[in-house]
A and B are shown apart, each in its own frame.
Chain A
Amino acid sequence: MVKQITIISGKGGTGKTTIASSFIKMAHDHIAVDADVDAANLHILLNLTTIKKEDLIGGAVAVVNQTCINCGKCEELCRFDAISGSTSDIKIDTLKCEGCGVCQYICPAGAIELKKDKQGEFYTSDTQFCKLIHARLNPAAENSGLLVTMVRSIAEDIAYAENKKLIIIDGAPGIGCPVIASLNGVDFALIVTEPTLSGISDFKKIYKVAGFFNIKTFVCINKHDINDKNTEAIEKFCASNNIQVIGKIAYDENVPKVLAAKNYIIDYTDSPAAKDIIQLYFRLEKFLYE
């Protein structure tokens, strides 16, 4: 049976992708998924050969044609404030429209259609370590949750066909739709947090979200030594909520420097962060391949 782990954080920039890419290099019999589809970065350190590319069609929006009789019914019933000027010159805000179809249904003149568009692309790529399933959401597009569900289902199919043991999912920041789509049905969540007041505030939210899914959750405190008091507060919170703090990573200026050179931090074994990430991986590994 394949196990799945999603790396999340609430707050952005706490080190999700650095940790995910390190895990990808160390793991075996695995597949990687980049579930941060509107700001995907996991592919940057990998040597990619894309073997399959598909379109994401979705995100229906309402489109009006000239037969509109300016009755105003659609504007009245739209719950998303997406329609304005319907009694004179109707305008649909495609950003606010959620494609629910109420306006199309209610329109007495049959003047409204729902149109689906290409929202992005998703890819299956070979890399030097494992297959990577990733995506590119069109700039400004919606449906990032749908795209996350798509890349995950491709990864699950491949894992099944190739008898893989582990899927590593690099999640998006925040606690909303794409994050929820990346947690649904996984075995483990690794929350990467940092000892800042912002990090703690967002950590508590994402911890709640993970709680709804009944997932075995681990916590890793990145840059733990920039604020010992806050690190202690996180550890205390975890202890009282029965969450395992499975690793702490030191603040290390080598991390961005090594990244800028497009290298892996874990290859610099003398670097404090490298040691901590390697240790974190081995502590997790026994759960991942159980």
Chain B
Amino acid sequence: MIISVASGKGGTGKTTVAVSFALAARYCQFIDYDVEAPNADIFLKPDIKNIKKVSIKQPYFLTDTGNDFSKCAEFCHYNAIAVIGSEVIFYPELCHGCGGCLLVGPEGAVREKDVVVGEVAKGFTTPGIDFLKGNLIPGSMRTTTLQNELEKMLNKSGLVIIDAPPGNSCSMVMSVKNSDYCILVTEPTPYGFNDLLISMEVLEGLKVPYGVIINRDGVGDSAIEDYCTERNIRVHLKIPNDIEIAKIYSQGGTLLDYDSSYGEKFGIILKVIERISIGEADNHN
């Protein structure tokens, strides 16, 4: 079973919740899909055993051959290649590494080299958490290349917890699309609510069932809870607003360090989700 933890707004507590699930489950695969800002390792403290570089292929042009590369520039859908006279200007930050210029350019005059865009790290947290994360190199825009790499390593035979990046665009969708269930973490502010509604729309489009966890409960109003009640959306948990949680988090501590009963609470939510996904329980309040 794959459970993803997502949220439109950033900083609502995705990692806190995802880590709590992993610690409650004790045996699972944990994947940090937030490759632009991966932080789950700060809390799960895995023993990293293996780091693999991830690269894409990018072209270079043998211009001293007198060849004409204008077809490459014409073909490139990302405007990464410009040809002025006999000169080729290449913009590596725009290149997706599709290999199109290689196909259309003069034979043998377009070559490719590997360009590292990030790495995938594998590790282990006792008692039984297989940890995986992607880490994008600052300056690279190949977020989805790393996420594709992580997807290949999904172990669908057991429980998988996915920590998604913030937002509602392609990198979030990449993280939640394979899930059996998604937990949307939000906070009771107008920003949290607005972004939650968009995330719900994304999940409904993908047909991924979801429930909500409200973090920092008490800081704002009850608009989110009222909305969930009205639409019969399950609110699995409310985590109180407490500066102690913020302080523990700031040092790399978890919700279970704040209050060990959260282990049990998240264990129960896991069971509820399991029952929902096999059709034994309804996914509403």
Contacts and interface: CB of A to CB of B under 8 A. Distances in A.
A196 B249 contact: yes
A44 B191 contact: yes
B99 A102 contact: yes
Nearest to A184: B93
Which of the four size classes fits the interface of chain B? 35 or more
Interface string A16-33: 010000000000000000
A198 B15 contact: yes
Contact of A12 (B9, B96, B174, B251): B9
A249 to B, nearest CB: 14
Interface string A185-221: 0000000001111110110011011001000000000
B8 interface: yes
Contacts of A201: 37, 39, 42
Contacts of A244: none
A98 B99 CA distance: 12
Given A38-B169, A140-B206, A260-B189, A209 B57 contact: no
A176 B35 CA distance: 9
Contacts of B169: 37-38, 137, 140-142, 144, 178
A9 to B, nearest CB: 8
Given A98-B98, A100-B96, A197-B250, A209 B139 contact: yes
A102 B250 contact: no
A273 to B, nearest CB: 13
A239 interface: no
A179 B97 CA distance: 20
Interface residues of A, number: 69
Instruction: With a 10 A CB-CB cut-off, give which of B15, B42, B167, B249 has the most chain A CB atoms.
Output: B167
A176 B42 contact: no
Interface string A84-120: 0000000000011011111001100000001000000
Nearest to A177: B141
B189 A259 contact: yes
A122 to B, nearest CB: 15
Given A196-B250, A230-B250, A260-B221, 12 more contacts: A10-B36, A41-B190, A79-B99, A100-B77, A105-B104, A141-B169, A180-B141, A201-B42, A223-B246, A226-B243, A257-B219, A260-B220
28 contacts: A11-B11, A13-B9, A38-B167, A39-B194, A80-B96, A80-B98, A95-B170, A98-B96, A100-B78, A101-B75, A105-B103, A137-B169, A139-B202, A175-B136, A175-B138, A176-B141, A177-B141, A180-B139, A195-B250, A196-B249, A197-B39, A198-B37, A226-B247, A230-B250, A257-B219, A259-B189, A259-B191, A259-B220
